[in-house]
A and B are shown apart, each in its own frame.
Chain A
Amino acid sequence: MRHFSPREPAAARYRKIVPAGDYWFETIARGEYLRIVDVEGNQAADTLFFSAADTAERYSAIDTLREQGNLYLSTGSKLRSTSSQVLAEIVADTVGRHDTIGGACSSESNTVRYAIEKRTMHACRDSYLLAVTTHERFGLTKRDLGHNINFFMNVPVTPDGGLTFEDGLSGPGQYVELRAEMDLLVLISNCPQLNNPCNAYNPTPLEVLVWQSDVQ
């Protein structure tokens, strides 16, 4: 469901442009709001969440979908962990639908999907691996990289069980906003994919904004 946020960018405690092919890996506190903006449109924000207090509690697509009984994420979706705890809730969404079954691209899956010779092209999972190995203090490794959310991606299922990658419902300036329900580590790969028409073969920047909790 499309729902606009009352929060003004000028009041944000943090703003950062994340170029395509780069990652954003930061902590946000319980009660804070995180907005991800699709600055130029049809970009994919491949996003993972971890409980900062216990990183084994990480975003779980299957637990999130099972509990909401719906394949798509939007306003009101509670993002759950591997033990079904609520990590965050989507509180605003100007797009209306986000994917969490398409996963993140990797150089290995690119060899299967497109051509063996694509194996050296940059991919989200390379960004994830650089993020977790660069930030050793967070204690994460490859085994912690579960199935992500693809904010701004539209991956509908057909009645006969097909999967389609539709042109995005998103556009320039569209955003999704979440409220952290516990202290979180958030890892975003701004997708560098050059082989998929869903971003018109043109990966573009995202903007990340954080507002402090409005509860004293």
Chain B
Amino acid sequence: MNYETVIEGGKHWSLSLTAGTTLRLVDEQGGANVGMLFYNPRNPLERYNAPDTLKCQHTFKLTRGHCLYSDMGRIFCSIVADDVGWHDTVGGNANRELVAARWGELAYQDVRNDWTQNGHDAFLVEGGKYGLGLRDLAANVNWFSKIAISDDGSMHFDPTNSGPGRAVELRFEMDTLVLLHTCPHPLNPAASYPRRPVRITIGRAAPVGVDDFCRNFRPENGRGFENTELYRAAGAAEA
């Protein structure tokens, strides 16, 4: 199948994707942010683990070749294409108080769907659709956003990181529940509430070969694929 849609800035959505599906995100205007969390729909206690993802691949940024790991040593998805070069998974979310303090709050009563939503509440709403709540939140990915770190540890948002038409493509290696929002990155210093649309395309991936770029990107990823393939082959016993 191929399916395409545009999610406006400041919104949220969720979808369940099967292994072998691709998800392509395009930053239509530049400056987009897509917050994303991943869960195993068969057992949502298995969820995206940013610390494991970073330390398994000795990286702070996410880009092509990197795999997004669950807490069970398996790979939800691989980054098979990326012309941005740096995506964040440490900056987290804005919450309602942060949005109100930095950009001012626009209430639904006054502006209808132009209200200033935040990533924290967006994940609670989308997660709630599957029985997930505050206890199930984890460090999320922020696609298209870059946080640079100075020697002293200070965190700096880079407003030039992405641009119009830049894209990142994920290939799902196991069945995955995806929660997403297009709310602003919490460290974005923009003067007004950033509202950037994202084009989403869902397609089918070619089978993963032994010479696959992501599988071979690091020796750890070969073992991550091995764990994931064991689960896909024998995992019915765990259901």
A-side residues, CB < 8 A to B, are 55-56, 58, 60-63, 65-66, 69-72, 82-84, 97, 101-104, 106, 108-113, 115-116, 125, 142-144, 146-147, 155, 157-159, 161-165
Contact = CB atoms under 8 A, between A and B. Distances in A.
B227 A111 contact: yes
Contact of A112 (B59, B153, B227): B227
A69 B136 contact: no
7 contacts: A70-B153, A82-B135, A82-B137, A83-B95, A111-B223, A112-B224, A164-B58
Interface residues of B, number: 46
A86 to B, nearest CB: 13
Q: Which of A66, A162, A164 has most B Cβ within 10 Å?
A: A66
Contacts of B187: 66, 69
A83 B138 CA distance: 12
A142 B46 CA distance: 9
Contacts of A115: 223
A168 B136 CA distance: 31
A27 B93 CA distance: 29
A159 B69 CA distance: 23
A163 B54 contact: yes
B54 A112 contact: no
Contacts of A113: 55-56, 220
Contacts of B60: 101, 157-158, 161-163
A111 B90 contact: no
Contact of A62 (B49, B54, B139, B148): B139
Contact of B154 (A66, A69, A110, A163): A69
Interface of B: 45, 49-52, 54-56, 58-61, 69, 71-74, 86, 90-93, 95, 97-98, 133-140, 148-149, 152-155, 186-187, 220, 223-224, 226-227
Contact of B58 (A62, A82, A147, A162): A162
B154 A112 contact: no
A155 B55 CA distance: 9
Contacts of A146: 137-138
B56 A108 contact: no
A65 B153 CA distance: 10
Nearest to A160: B61
Contact of B135 (A56, A161, A162): A56
B93 to A, nearest CB: 7
Given A147-B138, A157-B149, A112 B58 contact: no
A170 B148 CA distance: 25
Contacts of B139: 61-62, 147
B65 to A, nearest CB: 13
A101 B54 contact: yes
Q: Which of A60, A109, A158, A165 has most B Cβ within 10 Å?
A: A109
Contacts of B136: 143
A158 B86 CA distance: 13
Contacts of A101: 50-51, 54, 60, 90
A147 B149 contact: no
Given A113-B55, A159-B148, A162-B60, A70 B154 contact: yes
B148 to A, nearest CB: 7
